[in-house]
Structure formats: structure tokens, C-alpha cells
Structure 1
Amino acid sequence: MWSLIFVVISPALAWNTNATDTLYPEEVPTKPYYQGYQLPVGSKHATPRNIEYGGYNYCSMPHPHIDTYELPAAILNGSVRGSMAGLTYIQRHQKRTSYHTYQDEDIRYDCSELVPFLFGENRDSTGLLNAAIPVHDYVYTPDSNPYVSSGYVPHGSCQFPQLTIGGLEDGFQHGRDLWNVYGDKMGIIPAVPSLDHIWLRRSNKDLTAQTAGGVLRGLWPNHNETLPIHQQRAEVDTIGSNYPCEKRDKLKKDLKKTDIWKEHDEFMVPVLDELHKTVFGESDYKYEKWSDTFQSRLCNGYPLPCANSTSCASGNAAAQVFSGEDWEFYQQYIADPNAAEYARLKVGLLVGEIIDQLKETVYNHSSVVYRHYFAHDGDLAPMATTLGLQTMKQPGMGINIAVELWKVEAVDDNESEQIPLPPITNQNEHYVRVLWAGAPIRSKLGNLEWIKFDEFVDLWSKSVPIDIVEECKVTK
């Protein structure tokens, strides 16, 4: 309805290859002692942009942006005429506070500028909402509570792991950038969010609802009505793969028993020992908690943790932790022989839902052209595996996958001096292009920058379980 037809036009600003290459490191360190690692850089408010947009930035990953977005090559060179027929966009939430906190945190986390809302409305038989008082949370930590005064929980005004004000502002910008590309330029996101043409989904975590509010406000700054966002039951939610799956869980446990993973753990021992002694004495604070603590601090402008003014975590130790986390994501989702099977059991049901929705659009069974999923790194990483991502660092805040659906028609030889594509069987045929962090995905499965819809469905459907209940069982 809003799609624009593109013929031969002048190219947009080319992808910044040097910046984009940082998303695809040729070598993920085999030892997590990576010297020269660039620590995340953030602030309390919106995350500063990289000088060259499109590079890896853990605190706010790149996404489709008007300065770097290019049309598919087949349309740019005049081989086909085409219009965008649909967009499915899957993203991680924006930057947040930490999941893990420890006793006697040396900073006071401040979330006073972000007001989290949660209240109910009464919908009557006519569909009208009878307005309730819009109540919001206000977090406080009275010293009279012995658990607070003893340092059992950190002081401050945050309900961990809520979004921070900077995460909300990153969401605003994320939405504005999506509008510039897919609304104003491509015409696939409608100017008014009609429920006939948009479909929204999130996980059961508050983080994704808070992110959605920011991103959608960036998309539609003048919209004043509520918007429904779909959510599955927490016990079986396919975002987050909350459904029970013994085989999936066993694959993850078995990976951590492999020699290469044990070697990785051994490499991390001196790093953890240093951090334990420097910050916590003889604490048993776990490796993944360090990574969580460091990213939430650095992305939101807080310093690395200190036990006192002279005993603080070093930047080198933090770099080694982040580097080690990169290795773990790479090993689990790319290098491990069971990576594809693990991803299939973890995110395959969600992939199947998305494929079904794409089919509905192609076969005119639905008028929805724009679908947006708000999820987590534990969803984006395995989904990238199902799409054949060649290599991976840990997916940062706001990491995203865009599945673009294109409707094209062939161009006669006398209409273009360019060499046309192989003959298209139907007058109109659908193609798919997949973007990872705003750039065409580099996939080991083939050319996902421009692939026939049916071929793409056949390829991606291999990651969809046929009978998830049976396939999740472990043979004794």
C-alpha cells in the first residue's frame, strides 16, 4: 500500500566496509587475553555514535540507517523493477542495568529519569477503555530495611535489570532511524500505525516492553493512542525459548564439558582471581556476572567496580572478560559442531512463526506488511546461526536482523543496458534480503543479500523442528 517502485537510480552512500568489517572479525581469540580490545563506551544518556557508523558498538549496535542504507544491487543496476512488500524486524532490547548485583556495590544506580508504567484498563463490551489511573513504579531503598543497610542489595532507584534512561533514548533514536529508512524512504512502515498493517511482539520481560515504548515513539512521534504488543505465555514463550527442552539444555551442558571449553575456563582463572582479590576479596563471583557487571556500568557511564579508592578492576581485566565472552558466543553459535542443532531447538519455533507470517504476506492472506519483534541476545544469536552467520562477537544492545521482502518484475532487455537476472517465471515474484546490524548478512548458507522467496523459505525451514516435543527428548 505504501511501497515505492524503484527502477535504475543513483546509488546511495556505499556501506562503510571498514566499519562493517568489525561485525565480522576474521579471528575470534582462542585465548581470552585479547590485548587492545576496545572497551564499551557509553554514558548516562544516549550512546555516542561511532565516527564511522556501522561498526561494532556493544552499547548500541548499528541498525539500518539512512546514511548507509543501500537498495539491493539487482534493483540498483536495473536488472529488475521492485518494491518492498514486507519487513520483519527482530531486535534485542537497548542498554540496561545489570542482571547480577553484588553486596556493597560502590555506586548508586540512578534510574530516576525513567518512569516505568504498569497498570490495567477495563475494556467494555464496545471495545472502549475505561481509563484507570496510570500508576508508575518508584524504587526506593530505606536504610531501615536491614538487608539494604547490610549491603545485600545495591542502593539507588533502579529495579534490576530495567532499561536505563540512556537505553530509552537509544530506543528513540533507533525508531527514528528505522522511520527514515523504512518509512520515509522505502514506504513500508505506515505513517499511522494501523493494526491492519503492523504487528508487534515482545518477550515476557519488562526490558522488551520498555524498549518497545522508546522505539515505537521514535517511529511515530505524534501517535497518541495505545498499541497492542503480542506476548506469549511465559511458560511456553518462543522468545527466550522458555518451553522445556531437555536435549537443548543437554547440548549446552555438553559443550561446557568439551576440552576446548575447559581450556577456555583455565585461561580465565588468573583473570577471575585478580578480580576477586582486587574487588571482592576471596569472592566466588562468577565469570558471566563480571561481564554483565562491566557492560551495565560502562554502557551507562559508570566506572568499573572498586573495593576502595585504590583497589579497582582494571581495564585490562575487563577487556579480557569481554574478549572471553566473544569467544563463548563464537564457540556456542558458530564453531561448535552442534551449533546448528542447538540453535534449531532454541529458536526454531520462533523462526517457524516468522516464516508463516512471511507466507501470509506473499500469498495475500494478511494485510500486515511490518512486523517488529523485541527480544534478547539469547534469541538474536541463535537466529543468526540459523541464517548462517559466518562469525560472531557477543551481540550488543539493540542488535538486529531485518528480513526484507521484495516484490519484483523483470526488465526487458531494451529497457536496460544492464544484464538482466535469469528469467522470472511469474510476472511478479518475491525475493528476500537479510540484514544483520543494518548491513547485508554474510552467510555461509549462500547469498542472502538477494534470494528467491521460495528458496529462502526452503533454506530457513531446515531450522524449524517438525515435532519439537519429540525432538527435545533425550534418548537414555
Structure 2
Amino acid sequence: MTLGASMFFASVGLAISPVHYPPSSTKINDLEFALSGSGAPGVYSSSYTPESQYGVYNWCNMPHVRPKEYRTPPRNYSLEYVEVIQRHHKRTPYASNTFNQEDIDWFCTGSGPTFGATSSKGEGTNGSPVQWQGFVDSNNPWTTTVPPGFKNSDCQFPQITDQGLEDAILHGKDLRGVYAPLLDLPLHIDSDIAAIRVTTNVITSQVASGLAKGLFPASLSENVPVKIQSANFDSLEPKYSCNRASTIRSDITTGSQGDLWKNHLNKAASIFEKLDKVSGFPKDDTGGWHVSFDHYYDNLSAKQCHQKRLPCNLHDSSVCVSQEDANTVYRLGNWEYSYLYRDAQASAEYAALRYGAWVLELRGHLQAKMDGNSKLKYLHNVAHDGSISSLLGFLQIDQMVWPGMGSEVVFELYSSKSAHSSSWFIRVLWSGQPIKTSTPLGTLDMVPLEQFFQYIDSMVGSGNDLFAACYS
């Protein structure tokens, strides 16, 4: 069946007018269950998932493509190109997500970001790698005025942890186990046929170093080149400005369309009150701790993923966050992401504007491969939860979740040749399996590429259309 572009347009004549296809109703987007249900919506205690349960939602280390579960299409399909986009692996919390005074230790001695410089003049003029190691000097009077978070910690907040780096290496090995034989990828990275891309946030480069070790094991002693766009217009994080997207986000949270969002915050007042007694943040705090559960979610999940206990009040150890409280935060966090990126009526337009530039780049890569204008076989993007959630919103996944650590979306381009013609197909994998969408495309499993392009066109039009829509 050929799906005409009109099936995706809300009204003819508008360059960008995406239809919103609501997701399925599940416990994830059931607000009452999020508020008063029981249990966590997945695994939050370890990167390890038992083999018998692999594929379940594991916030600490999401399922990804690996040889054991991978399903190879019939022989008449030939894999031509793969593009992967993933969230970074597990890390310390961001500094903005830590309490003013933490009652738990977090140290990173011997691990952390490394930096260096190379010269075009050759190896003899290259610098030595240096590693960041945080410290506090009591002679600096500001150290007692700026909240320290984790006291005397030598970590950067954020930084990929030892366990997160191990997850990244294994992730790379698993992907190599599937795609190296199918694409004939070499042991070392060859920039003509394979590339890695990162954002300007250093944690994505930390993950890229682990991925490269697993994906291209012979490159361990080499300087692995990674692609990066300017922070002024980076499409991967994304960083480019889009006034219309910002307006939509405000409308569906605090503005004219934000009744449901404001309602969920009001109904969650009791859980906020419990959490505030531990964190010390008052209800009128201006740091964003009460406009969503983002801060609390990151703080608690980072601790639990690294086998640290849940926090207590620094001055009263009898006042602690219970596991039941943490599970409620995790359920509400997933509800929030489903609302923002899938349930809200304007979520499709928001995702299209926020992540349309990256999708247009993806479309260009697929088109170039189809036209025979690209030698590239494999491109790996290391990004963030805001990247993956926006992409899932763009694709209109049938069941939205908050993308966990290491979550990935894989785009596989296939050709199928007959005696008289050549056809192209796309398969899109989420957590290692074909993604189920709410759109007329259904499950993205060997969908004719032209139909996939029609869907992209209906969401963002051309680059000029997208740019104009952001400032309309």
C-alpha cells in the first residue's frame, strides 16, 4: 500500500502541519496510577538485566541491539547503511540536580574526563592527555558559600562513572557483533565508511571513547575522530534556537494548554512535601525543583543505579526518602515524558520543531546512500535524553517512556534488487526491536523508504520550512 502525503497532513497548503497520533493508553500515561500506583516502571538498581528478562525497561542500562536478540531480514534484503543514535550511559547527577547538602558520599578518584591536544605537525608535537580531578581548597572563601552538594567530592557533576564506561564498552561490542559482519566494518575506525558524532557536552565524548573501544577494538591506541557541530546550531543535542518550540513547551506546561500539567503538580503536592523534607528545598524554590520531577528523578535514580542508598535529611537521619517515594517519582517522571512528547495535542509539532533538523540530516544521509553518493556505512550519534525523547515524539512511538541510560534508536537502510528494479526499505529499532508507532506507518519494519520520507516531509517539510516555522 502506498501512503500518500495527505494522510499525514492536518490541512492542505501548510508546509508544516503534522497530525498528532495519540499513543496507546497504558500505565505509563495513566496519571492516577502514576500518583497512587505501586512499584517502579522498570529496573533502577543495576545495569544488569537477567537474560530471561532482557528487553524490559532498565533505566540504568537500556536494552540495545545485540546478537542474541537480533533478527536478520530475509536474504533478498541487503543492509546498506546503519545510523544509531543513543543516550549517553550512566553518570553522576548534574550539579543542578544535587541537594545543597548531600548525606551520601560520591567519589571518582582515578576516573573522569580526559583532555588533550594534537598538532597537525605530527606525533612529536602532540600533548599528553590530562584528566580532570575535582578538589576543594579551604583557603578559597567561596567554597563555604557555594553549596557543595556531595561534600569534598572529586567528581565532576556530571561525569560518566566507571560503571557507565563499562556499559558503553559492552554496548559497542554488542553493536559490533551484529553490524561488523553485515557491513564488513574493519577492526579500526575508517572515517570513509564509519563515523562517531557527539554533542558539545563532554559526557557524550566520554561515552564515545568506550563505544569506540568496543566497536573498533584496533583503534584503542589511535586518536579516534568524532564529529561535532557548533553549540550555536547543533542538531544532535539539540542546541539550535526555535522560538515556536519554546512557546509550545510553555503552553503545554504553564500556559493556555497546561491545565493537565498544573493539575498533576497539584495532585503530587504530598510527594513533593516528603521529598522537600530531605532535600531542604522549599516549595517556593526558584531552582526548578517543583515545576517537574526532573531534578528529584535524576538525583534518586543516579544513586540507585550505582547501588547507593536513598538519601536522608542531613540533620535528621530518621527523615529519609523511602523506596515507595522513589518509585512514585519514577512513575511520575515517565508520565511527564509521555505527556510532553506524546500525549499533549501539540507534542507532535513540538517534537518536529525541536528535532526536525537532525531528522533532515538523517534523511539526507539515507538519500545520499540510495543515490550512490556516499561511501559511509555506519554513523553513531551519542546524545541525551532530550534528543531521544524528541526523536521518539517525532516518530510518534506508540508507548512513550523517559529514555534511560544508553537507550538507542537504530535506522537500518536496506536494498532489495530484482531482475528489473531496485527497491529501498527502512527498519527502525527501539531497544533492539522494530519500533511500534501510532502513525499509519505502524511498526517500522521494512517500510518502503519513500513512505518514510513522506512522513518526514509531512512533519518538517524542507529545511527552509522548518527554519521559518521556528520563527513564525
TM-score, normalised on structure 2?
A: 0.85
User: Is residue 438 of structure 2 the alignment partner of residue 432 of structure 1?
Assistant: no
**In structure 1, distance between residues paired with 2:246 and 2:225:** 33
**In structure 1, distance between residues paired with 2:420 and 2:452:** 16
Equivalent in the alignment of 2:191: 195
Sort the Cα spacing of 1:282 and 1:316 in 2 relative to 1 into closer, same or farther, 3 A.
same
**Residue deviations 1:255-290, cap 9 Å, x none?**
013221111111111100111124427464433211
Equivalent in the alignment of 2:312: 306
Equivalent in the alignment of 1:160: 157
CA-CA distance at 1:50 after TM superposition: 3.3
**Residue deviations 1:192-226, cap 9 Å, x none?**
31111012211110010001111111112232211
**In structure 2, distance between residues paired with 1:333 and 1:237:** 20
Contact 2:42 2:56 in 1 (8 A): no
Contact 2:187 2:218 in 1 (8 A): no
Matched letter for residue 126 of structure 2: A
Structure 2 portions without partners, runs of 5+: 1-22
Equivalent in the alignment of 2:105: 108
SS in 2 for 1:250: helix
**In structure 2, distance between residues paired with 1:30 and 1:103:** 30
**Residue deviations 1:39-94, cap 9 Å, x none?**
64345xxx22234211110010000011111123xx1xxxx612211100000000
Equivalent in the alignment of 2:261: 261
CA-CA distance at 1:473 after TM superposition: 2.0
Equivalent in the alignment of 2:67: 66
**In structure 2, distance between residues paired with 1:472 and 1:282:** 36
CA-CA distance at 1:130 after TM superposition: 2.7
Equivalent in the alignment of 1:443: 437
Q: What are the residue-to-residue correspondences of 1:232-311 with 2, within 5 Å?
A: 232-257=229-254, 258-280=258-280, 282=282, 284=285, 285-286=289-290, 287-307=293-313, 308-311=316-319
Of the structure 1 ranges 359-368 and 140-149, higher mean CA displacement relative to structure 2 is found in 140-149
**Residue deviations 1:292-315, cap 9 Å, x none?**
101111112211111143221111
**In structure 2, distance between residues paired with 1:175 and 1:103:** 36
Matched letter for residue 437 of structure 2: S
Identity %: 28
**Residue deviations 1:398-451, cap 9 Å, x none?**
1110000112234xxxxxxxxxxxxx961x322111101111101122141011
User: Is residue 176 of structure 2 the alignment partner of residue 182 of structure 1?
Assistant: no
CA-CA distance at 1:118 after TM superposition: 1.3
Equivalent in the alignment of 2:210: 214
Sort the Cα spacing of 1:104 and 1:429 in 2 relative to 1 into closer, same or farther, 3 A.
same
**In structure 2, distance between residues paired with 1:461 and 1:321:** 37
Contact 2:277 2:319 in 1 (8 A): no
SS in 2 for 1:98: coil
User: Is residue 466 of structure 2 the alignment partner of residue 472 of structure 1?
Assistant: no
**In structure 2, distance between residues paired with 1:87 and 1:141:** 45
Equivalent in the alignment of 1:403: 411
Contact 1:431 1:453 in 2 (8 A): yes
Q: What are the residue-to-residue correspondences of 1:11-50 with 2, within 5 Å?
A: 26-28=26-28, 29-31=30-32, 32-33=34-35, 34-38=37-41, 40-42=43-45, 47-50=47-50
Contact 1:40 1:295 in 2 (8 A): no
Q: What are the residue-to-residue correspondences of 1:351-366 with 2, within 5 Å?
A: 351-366=359-374
**In structure 2, distance between residues paired with 1:42 and 1:142:** 34
**In structure 1, distance between residues paired with 2:192 and 2:312:** 53
SS in 2 for 1:234: coil
Matched letter for residue 203 of structure 2: L
Contact 2:112 2:161 in 1 (8 A): no
CA-CA distance at 1:25 after TM superposition: 7.8
Equivalent in the alignment of 2:20: none
**In structure 2, distance between residues paired with 1:282 and 1:39:** 30
Contact 1:40 1:298 in 2 (8 A): no
Contact 1:465 1:471 in 2 (8 A): no
SS in 2 for 1:275: helix
Contact 2:99 2:280 in 1 (8 A): no
Sort the Cα spacing of 1:229 and 1:212 in 2 relative to 1 into closer, same or farther, 3 A.
same
Contact 1:84 1:188 in 2 (8 A): no
CA-CA distance at 1:37 after TM superposition: 2.0
**How many residue pairs are counted as aligned between the two chains?**
426
Equivalent in the alignment of 2:386: 378
Matched letter for residue 48 of structure 1: Y
SS in 2 for 1:462: helix
Equivalent in the alignment of 1:121: 118
Sort the Cα spacing of 1:454 and 1:465 in 2 relative to 1 into closer, same or farther, 3 A.
closer
